[in-house]
Amino acid sequence: MPELPEAERARQTLESAVGRRIARAEDADTYVCRPHAPGEISAALAGHELTSAHRRGKFLWLQTDDGPTLGLHLGMAGRIVVDGAAQEPSRWDRFALRFEDGTRLALRDKRRLGRAVLNPDFGHVGPDAAGVARDEFRRLIGRGHTAVKARLLNQGAIAGVGNLLADQALWQARIAPARDTGDLSTEDLDRLRRELRAAIRSATRKGGVHTGRFIRARRHEGICPRDGHELRRATVGGRTTYWCPACQR
Longest dimension (CA), the chain: 59
- Residue-level pLDDT at 86: 54
Q: How far apart are CA 196 and CA 118, in angstroms?
A: 31
Contact 27, 107 (CB under 8 A): no
Q: Which option is the CATH number for 134-243: 1.10.8.50, 3.60.20.10, 2.40.160.10, 3.30.300.30?
A: 1.10.8.50
Q: From first to last of the 249 residues of the chain, give the pLDDT tens digit.
A: 789 999 999 999 999 999 999 999 999 999 999 999 999 999 999 999 999 999 999 999 999 999 999 999 999 999 999 986 556 789 999 999 999 999 999 999 999 999 999 999 988 999 999 999 999 999 999 999 999 999 999 999 999 999 999 999 999 999 999 999 999 999 999 999 999 999 999 999 999 999 999 999 999 999 999 999 999 999 999 999 999 999 999
Q: How far apart are CA 203 and CA 47, in angstroms?
A: 36
Apex 94 CA angle, 88 and 95, nearest 5: 85
Q: How far apart are CA 190 and CA 204, in angstroms?
A: 21
- Residue-level pLDDT at 83: 85
Q: How far apart are CA 131 and CA 223, in angstroms?
A: 31
Name the residues annotated as catalytic. Answer: 2-3, 58, 239
- Residue-level pLDDT at 15: 96
**Partners of 236 in the β-ladder:** 239
| C-alpha 58 chain-centroid distance | 3
Domains 4-118 and 134-243 share a fold: no
Domain boundaries, the chain: 4-118, 134-243
Q: How far apart are CA 195 and CA 189, in angstroms?
A: 10
- The residues, ordered by sequence, that sit 6+ positions from 170 with a Cβ below 8 Å of its Cβ are 148, 149, 152, 176, 177, 192, 243, 248
Question: What is the 3-class SS of the chain, one letter each residue?
Answer: CCCHHHHHHHHHHHHCCCCCEEEEEECCCCCCCCCCCCCHHHHHHCCCEEEEEEEECCEEEEEECCCCCEEEECCCCCEEEEECCCCCCCCCEEEEEEECCCCEEEEECCCCCCEEEECCCCCCCCCECCCCCHHHHHHHHHCCCCEHHHHHHCCCCCECCCHHHHHHHHHHHCCCCCCEHHHCCHHHHHHHHHHHHHHHHHHHHHCCHHHCHHHHHCCCCCECCCCCCECEEEEECCEEEEECCCCCC
Q: Which option is the CATH number for 4-118: 3.40.50.2000, 3.30.450.20, 3.30.200.20, 3.20.190.10?
A: 3.20.190.10
